[in-house]
Amino acid sequence: MSMHYRGRLGLQQRVLPGYRAPFFDMLAAACDDGLSVFAGRPRANEGITEGRLKIARHAAAENIHFLGGSLYLCQQRGLLKWLASWDPRALIVEANPRYLATASAVRWMHERGRKVIGWGLGSPPVRGPLRGLLQANRRRFLRQFDALIAYSQRGAREYAGLGFPGASIFVATNAVSAPPASASLKQRPITTPPSILFVGRLQKRKHVDSLLRACAELRDPRPRLVIVGEGPERDALVALAGHVYPSAEFAGAKYGQDLVSHFREADLFVLPGTGGLAVQEAMAHGLPVIVGQGDGTQDDLVREQNGWQIPPDNHDALAQALRTALSDVARLRSMGQESYRIVSEEINLEQMVQSFVAALNSGA
């Protein structure tokens, strides 16, 4: 049964990416008194497509960026002014200590006896001579929140490992798609040769170069490889394909029904690098998946029953996973059915919203 939050909600984000807009609108529909999202503009070199909200409100932040890389910091001007204007009963913020205005927002809410929830990936282990100091700083940062929402089960375990109370940690597995509209999945025909699909931004961390080389090592069967997306590495990848796998097809960026047709024609979805929001969409179209291990969200999505997780920089592991997957296309169909079940029943936008509402209603 659908739950609602009986109050006005505020939510802080550094930026408002397009893939998050459907989630924020669905969350707004679950808030009786509305949702306002405070978010600024991305930097010009980030390649982030900004989203437009239809139900939730968007309050514009002024993002001031400092330094870069591991030293990056961001100050969001206007945060307290927005809080005073919107006057939310609860606030959700990114659980990221690099955002300098967070502490002042938490104080503003707590002075008024209101809840603040941190939302984040987790807290991976720290190594090196400053480990103790960094761990202590993370504990202090997290201690200011009334509850935490983690992207994954792994993230939840990491927060608990820092001493945050387990009863106040909630898991909202990262999702970008609603449950598939169809109640059943049509069986795909067995195709010859099998078709491998990659969808994503063409950048180095996606390791599409390794995918091209791994396909070149396959002999029987030698698959069709379709690469959907644009990005700074396109020219280099096209040149590489010309040398190692000339049959590779570069389809460019595709959206809507044009993208759906590629999912429907594929037998296997492969994302050899880190990140990538198309994994869930591929699963919603009944595809088994090979993905690079990353922030923990892959652990919840990809299991032995529906795919393979590989180290994101291990070419041999990718090549072996491809050989195993393509050795039995009938088995791929069964794994694709399990992918479809996972996103239909367990990991989708509706479930993500319900996890947020449960966190908001906890201790109320």
Domain with CATH 3.40.50.2000 in the chain: 9-177+348-361, 195-345
- For residue range 3-39, what is the model confidence (pLDDT) as tens digits? 899 999 999 999 998 889 999 999 999 999 999 999 9
Bridge partners of 197?
226, 269
Please work out, in degrees rounded to the nearest 5, the angle formed at the alpha carbon of residue 347 by the alpha carbons of 341 and 351.
120
What integer pLDDT is reported at residue 1 of this predicted model? Answer: 44
What average pLDDT does this structure show over 157-178? 90
Give 3-state DSSP helix, strand, coil % of the chain, rounded to 5.
40, 20, 40
Residue with tokens 């955002």: 99
Question: Which top CATH class is 9-177+348-361?
Answer: alpha beta
The DSSP string of 60-129 is: EPEEEEES-GGG-EEEEETHHHHHHHH--SEEEEE--TTBTTHHHHHHHHHHTT-EEEEEES--PPP-ST
What average pLDDT does this structure show over 141-158? 93
Does the domain made of 195-345 have the CATH classification 3.40.30.10?
no
What integer pLDDT is reported at residue 268 of this predicted model? Answer: 95
Copy the structure tokens of residue 297.
Answer: 């969200």
Residue type, 210: S
> What global pTM score does this model have?
0.84
For the chain, give the mean pLDDT.
Answer: 89
